[in-house]
Amino acid sequence: MSASIEIAGVSKVYDGGVRAVDAVAMDIRQGEFFSLLGPSGCGKTTTLRMIAGFEMPSSGAIRVDGADITHVPAHKRDMGMVFQNYALFPHRTVAENVAFGLRMRGLDKATIAAKVKAALAMVELSGLEDRRPAQLSGGQQQRVALARAIVIAPRVLLCDEPLGALDKKLRQQMQFELKQLQKKLGLTLVFVTHDQEEALAMSDRIAVMNGGRVEQVGTPTEIYNQPTTRFVADFIGDTNIFRGERVGPSLDVGKSLILALPPAETEGTGVLSVALRPEKIRLSPRTDATITAGSSTHGIVENTNFLGGAVLYRITLEGGHRVLVQQPNAGTSRLFVPGDGVTLDWTPADLVVLKD
Ligand SMILES: Nc1ncnc2c1ncn2[C@@H]1O[C@H](COP(=O)(O)OP(=O)(O)OP(=O)(O)O)[C@@H](O)[C@H]1O
Ligand SMILES: [Mg+2]
């Protein structure tokens, strides 16, 4: 049976005064694939280790299925953990590595053998029982670590950058397999990564962390399409951020660029930041036709970055702003080259207003 986890106002101040985690609050649902995403040092591992019981919060509480476990020791929490570097025992065989948690629990030999066999079958490693970690590929070692964590039938699986050491192809394959396994077992999985694409691809929901705090919790589409803060907009994918002064229904961002605000945002005064994703801007060859102020402008292509399925352009607007524009590499769209004059246009509703 998998469990829900409630992190209630948890902070962690390490000896020496580093506030690694600062008043974090989030609810992780039963059976959910939940990712902690953020840059190096933002407190992801510390948060995960507090859920596991390897670190004690300085304040706040952690509840599992409603029960306060803040002071329950790690080995009594029924949680499996996969560490970034796998942490396999180098001198023990695959089977012995996987059996470790079961031995600790004092199960009999026959039960252990049966559970190890089933766990290895689950991660498709049957037949490699007698090898040692050094005789396995990176991806296979990764699966041993996974089998070792799931063999105890944990209520919660905690994974700290488990795919970090794998090459891209294998990483994508393991992402797919881990997600399938999680769904099949109905596991509550807390997954730490600093890779935004990985978090977007795998998660039911994501908590974006920054400086020990949670900036936003949401589904991948919410995080990508409606980032609420400048940090989230900037950290997830490429984006164009403009800051300016509200003038009626428009935002004056200087250098003679005026942006029409989304219909819901036309009231108010003061300074505002907005984000506009590169793929929300359309490009066409520059013509002398008049343009719609507020939702189009002219520019010059500075450089192009061919991504295969798409092309990323860096464009300097007439007034001097620089923007990123991404266009699909479809048969019908023409490719521009540096020096081309272009017209850019977009839909005001695609602008996302940010909190700073
Ligand atoms: N045992 C410790 N003692 C003191 N400070 C620590 C300790 N462990 C971590 N820190 C500090 O706490 C902050 C958060 O560290 P943490 O390991 O949780 O970050 P992270 O998000 O997992 O980063 P990374 O992506 O690099 O793994 C950092 O500033 C780190 O230097
Ligand atoms: Mg870490």
Predicted local confidence at residue 332, as pLDDT: 65
Closest atom of ligand 1 to 42 CA is: 21
Closest atom of ligand 1 to 55 CA is: 1
The protein residue with its alpha carbon nearest to ligand 1, atom 8, reads: 46
pTM for the predicted model, two decimal places? 0.90
Mean pLDDT of residues grouped by 10 in the chain (356 residues)? Answer: 94 96 98 97 97 97 97 93 87 97 94 96 92 92 92 94 82 87 94 94 97 98 96 94 94 95 84 96 90 93 94 96 94 85 96 88
**Pocket around ligand 1 at a 6 A CB cut-off:** 14, 16, 18, 20, 38, 40-46, 194
Name the residue of 36, 42, 160 to mutate for ligand 1: max ligand atoms within 8 A of Cβ.
42
Compute, in angstroms, the gap from residue 354 CA to the centroid of ligand 2.
28
As a residue count, the chain comes to 356
Closest atom of ligand 1 to 161 CA is: 27
The protein residue with its alpha carbon nearest to ligand 1, atom 25, reads: 40
Compute, in angstroms, the gap from residue 22 CA to the centroid of ligand 1.
12
Predicted local confidence at residue 333, as pLDDT: 66
